[in-house]
Every structure is written in structure tokens, then in C-alpha cells.
């Protein structure tokens, strides 16, 4: 970025740091990406398999639903099979399940202390969490606000959501517990954003951001990126979960793309592709799709430009770590500002992927063995970067 972030974005909200396993949420720690398994927790094999898939995509914290006794009973086995995973148990109403999760070695609890029974049950859970240094996330959801708040406000409002959060926070603080993370989720973007903004003025606990029940992969991605993007751009938010009606691996991918777009995290390629127009003379949709899919496993941060014409293509490709500017039947491959290879259209994908692998290997080795820029044609003339016939 050529300009100072401070010129355009407010500083990040100062939240107290809370340890979750080996990670820190809040403070100066990077925004943490998390998601939730979609399997039946009681099915240990499928649940462990999905945890591994999510982590391979970059998920740093995995949440598990614990809806019944059988789900609580298999937590020790899941913990045993995922010893390095940072796991969260999502529990409602049943304080015994929270105790069982703590016994299993869970890294965080997601409970609302006012919903798990009388005061002594709450104290028992909180004391145990305190002893084991396990934090608690208070998760306020517009769809499950307390009846008293709905009677007071008439319907879910930002004020009602914040009042619910403060009620649960006070229960924990009265017990001397402050390793707390807060979420204020709704399916309505404006309601969610307003609630987080309001609570941000009143507490310094770290915030878990999310638009709950956001929708399908397409519409939910848009809603999540709008809502969380607004808050993250204002410096609000310490960990995020994208909620989509699809595979949780897609939730993780969307989360990282959001953070990369705001330059808050760097992980894997950022693919820049022109929107295409009447100047397009190659099958850019196919080329860009194949490149994005083939590089999804890469963790090294890099920018890839896939451009389809000679107007903006060379400039964008030069600015990226690696890129291609394609014209009629051919393309020019760039690396770090240098035009290095001219290839036929059918060779663009394989050639660019070859350069990606070389680039990643060079980065890992701490060396730069980029090919030299193509020499000018005899007579001092530079051959056109893209041949248009």
C-alpha cells in the first residue's frame, strides 16, 4: 500500500488480550479466523475429518456444537485425535455439558452464563474455567434475546442486544472472571453493525464478529463481507466467523479473502482478474478459474494478476508478484515487474502455475532466482508484450 492506513482508516480498537489455547484474541494480535463444523458431533470420524479439512484451509479455531449428552461424551475422543487443534464447545442451557467439555480439554466455551441455570451452576462452570484458564465467549443473538428484553424494546434492537451482553458480562465479572470474548450477531447487517458500534464504546473485551444465518454461499458472502467489512474498516473486531449455508471450508476461504482485501491478514494468493469486456480475446473465465483453483492450497502470500487485454493488462501484471497479460491467442508472463515468458493461450495456465511454484520455492529458500526480462528485438525495438493479430 502506497498510502498510510491512518489517512483512510481509524486505528484498531484497543481490546484486552485473551488467550485461547496458543493464540491470542485482542490486543495487537492478528484477526483470528474461525469457523464451525457442520457434522453431527457424535460422529467422531466425520467430525475429525472436517476439522482437518478446515484447518488445512487456514481455520485457526474450530467450534463444535454440543447439543446433547452423547455429543458431550465424545469430546475427549475428538480432543485426543486433534491434539493441536484449538477447539471451542458451543453449549446452551446445560451446565453439565460445559463441565464435561472442560474435562475433555476444550480451549474455549461458548455459553451465555444467564442461560445455564441457577447461580450455583454458573459459579461452578466459571470457577472451573478460571482454574483451567479457559476463556468464555458470550454470544448474543438477535434471534434468541431474553423475553424480558423483547417485552422492553418490542423487537430486537441494538440497545436490546447490548443490554443482553452487559447482563451476561456482569454475571462473569461479579465472579471475578474477565477472560471473556463477546459477539453480537444478527442476520440483519445494519442491526449487527449498530450493536457492535454501541458496545465498543462501553467495554474493552475482544469482539468475535459475524453475521449469523447470513444465507447461501453467494448472498451470505455478500452480507458477511459488507457487515464485517464495515466494522473491520472502523477498527472493530478481533476474530471473525463467516456463517454460510455451505461447507465450512468455504467460510474460511471467504474470511481470508475479506481480511486480505482489507490488508489485515496475508495468506495465500490474491488473484486479480479483469472483469472482461469486448476487448477480450482469450477464454479468461476458464484461465482465471483454473489458476485460482490450482493455487488454493498455497499458503505463501502473493498477488496473481490474470488480465485479458493489452490496455490495462501489462500494467496490472507488472504490479503483481506474478501475472499474465493475454491477447489474441497468446500471453506474456510477468514476475516482479519483468516480462519473462511469452506463451500460447493453451499454455498460459501451466506456464503461470510453473512460475508460481518457482516463486513459492524461492520465497521459502529466501532467494530470488527470477528469470531475466526478455531481451529487446534486434535493432533496439522491444517486441510487443502481447501480439494482437
Query: Concatenated DSSP letters for 100-165?
Result: HHHHTT-SEEE--GGGSSSHHHHHHHHHHHHHTT--EEEEEEGGG--HHHHHHHSS--HHHHHHHH
Average pLDDT over residues 25-33: 97
Q: Is 298 exposed, middle or buried (0-12, 13-18, 19+ CB in 10 A)?
A: middle
CATH topology of domain 11-261: TIM Barrel (3.20.20)
Whether the per-residue pLDDT at 357 is higher than 60: the answer is yes
Please state whether 117 falls in left (phi above 0), alpha (psi between -120 and 50) or beta: left
Whether the per-residue pLDDT at 277 is higher than 80: the answer is no
pLDDT at res. 75: 98
Average pLDDT over residues 6-20: 88
Residue 357 is placed in which grid cell? 511454484
Distance (Å, rounded) from C-alpha 71 to C-alpha 65?
Answer: 8
DSSP lists the bridge partners of residue 79 as none
Residues 319, 320, 325: CA angle, nearest 5 degrees = 85
Say if residues 37 and 66 touch (Cβ distance below 8 Å).
Answer: no
Lowest mean pLDDT among 167-171, 187-191, 362-366: 362-366
pLDDT grade for 367, boundaries at 50, 70 and 90: confident
Q: 105 Cβ partners below 8 Å, 6+ apart?
A: 76, 79
Average pLDDT over residues 238-261: 95
pLDDT grade for 142, boundaries at 50, 70 and 90: very high
Whether the per-residue pLDDT at 343 is higher than 80: the answer is yes
- Specify the 3-state DSSP secondary structure of 325: strand
Whether the per-residue pLDDT at 382 is higher than 70: the answer is no
Q: What is the DSSP letter of 371?
A: P
pLDDT at res. 113: 82
Residues in the chain: 389
DSSP lists the bridge partners of residue 343 as 331
Tell me, letter by letter, the H, E, C secondary structure of 206-249: CEEECCCCCCCHHHHHHHHHHHHHHHHHCCCCCEECCCCCCCHH
pLDDT at res. 387: 41
pLDDT at res. 310: 64
Say if residues 122 and 113 touch (Cβ distance below 8 Å).
Answer: yes
**Which helix (H) or strand (E) is 184 found in, with range?**
strand 180-185
Residue 209: what are its φ and ψ, rounded to 5°?
-95, 150
Q: What is the DSSP letter of 386?
A: S
pLDDT at res. 312: 66
pLDDT grade for 386, boundaries at 50, 70 and 90: very low
* Residue range(s) in the chain whose domain bears CATH number 3.20.20.20: 11-261
Residues 277, 278, 279: CA angle, nearest 5 degrees = 90
- Name the more confident of 180 and 10: 180
Whether the per-residue pLDDT at 13 is higher than 90: the answer is yes
pLDDT at res. 5: 57
Residue 190 is placed in which grid cell? 445494519
Residue 211 is placed in which grid cell? 453475521
Q: Is 322 exposed, middle or buried (0-12, 13-18, 19+ CB in 10 A)?
A: buried
What homologous superfamily is domain 269-365 in, according to CATH?
Sulfite Reductase Hemoprotein, domain 1 (3.30.413.10)
Of 237, 240, 241, residue with least CA distance to 37: 241
Whether the per-residue pLDDT at 4 is higher than 70: the answer is no
Amino acid at each position: 500500500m502506497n498510502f498510510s492506513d491512518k489517512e483512510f482508516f481509524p486505528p484498531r480498537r484497543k481490546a484486552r488480550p485473551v488467550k485461547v489455547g496458543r493464540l491470542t484474541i485482542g490486543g495487537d494480535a492478528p484477526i483470528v479466523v474461525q469457523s464451525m463444523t457442520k457434522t453431527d458431533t457424535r460422529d467422531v470420524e466425520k467430525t475429525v475429518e472436517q476439522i482437518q479439512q478446515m484447518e488445512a484451509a487456514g481455520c485457526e479455531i474450530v467450534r463444535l456444537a454440543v447439543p446433547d449428552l452423547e455429543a458431550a461424551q465424545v469430546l475427549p475422543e475428538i480432543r485426543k485425535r486433534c491434539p493441536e487443534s484449538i477447539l471451542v464447545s458451543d453449549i446452551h442451557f446445560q451446565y453439565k455439558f460445559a463441565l464435561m467439555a472442560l474435562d475433555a480439554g476444550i480451549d474455549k466455551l461458548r455459553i451465555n452464563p444467564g442461560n445455564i441455570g441457577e447461580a450455583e451452576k454458573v459459579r461452578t462452570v466459571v470457577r472451573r474455567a478460571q482454574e483451567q484458564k479457559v476463556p468464555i465467549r458470550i454470544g448474543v443473538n438477535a434471534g434468541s434475546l431474553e423475553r424480558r428484553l423483547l417485552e422492553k424494546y418490542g423487537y430486537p434492537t441494538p440497545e436490546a442486544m447490548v443490554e443482553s451482553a452487559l447482563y451476561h458480562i456482569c454475571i462473569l465479572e461479579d465472579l471475578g472472571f474477565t477472560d471473556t470474548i463477546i459477539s453480537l450477531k444478527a442476520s440483519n447487517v445494519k442491526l449487527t453493525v449498530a450493536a457492535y458500534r454501541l458496545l465498543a464504546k462501553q467495554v474493552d473485551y475482544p469482539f468475535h464478529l459475524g453475521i449469523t444465518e447470513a444465507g447461501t454461499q453467494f448472498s451470505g458472502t455478500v452480507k458477511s463481507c459488507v457487515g464485517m467489512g464495515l466494522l473491520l474498516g472502523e477498527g472493530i473486531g478481533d476474530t471473525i466467523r463467516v456463517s454460510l449455508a455451505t461447507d465450512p471450508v468455504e467460510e474460511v476461504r471467504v474470511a481470508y479473502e475479506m481480511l486480505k482485501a482489507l490488508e489485515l491478514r496475508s495468506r495465500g494468493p490474491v488473484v486479480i482478474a479483469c472483469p472482461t469486456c469486448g476487448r477480450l480475446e482469450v477464454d479468461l473465465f476458464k484461465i482465471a478459474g483454473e489458476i485460482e483453483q490450482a493455487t488454493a492450497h498455497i499458503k505463501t502470500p502473493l498477488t496473481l494478476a490474470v488480465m485479458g487485454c493489452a490496455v490495462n493488462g501489462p500494467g496490472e501484471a507488472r504490479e503483481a508478484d506474478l501475472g499474465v497479460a493475454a491477447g489474441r491467442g497468446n500471453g506474456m508472463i510477468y514476475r516482479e515487474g519483468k516480462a519473462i515468458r511469452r506463451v500460447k493461450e493453451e499454455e498460459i495456465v501451466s506456464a503461470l502455475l510453473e512460475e508460481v511454484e518457482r516463486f513459492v520455492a524461492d520465497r521459502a529458500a529466501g532467494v530470488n532466482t527470477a528469470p531475466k526480462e526478455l531481451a529487446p528485438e534486434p535493432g533496439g525495438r522491444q517486441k510487443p508484450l502481447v501480439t494482437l493479430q
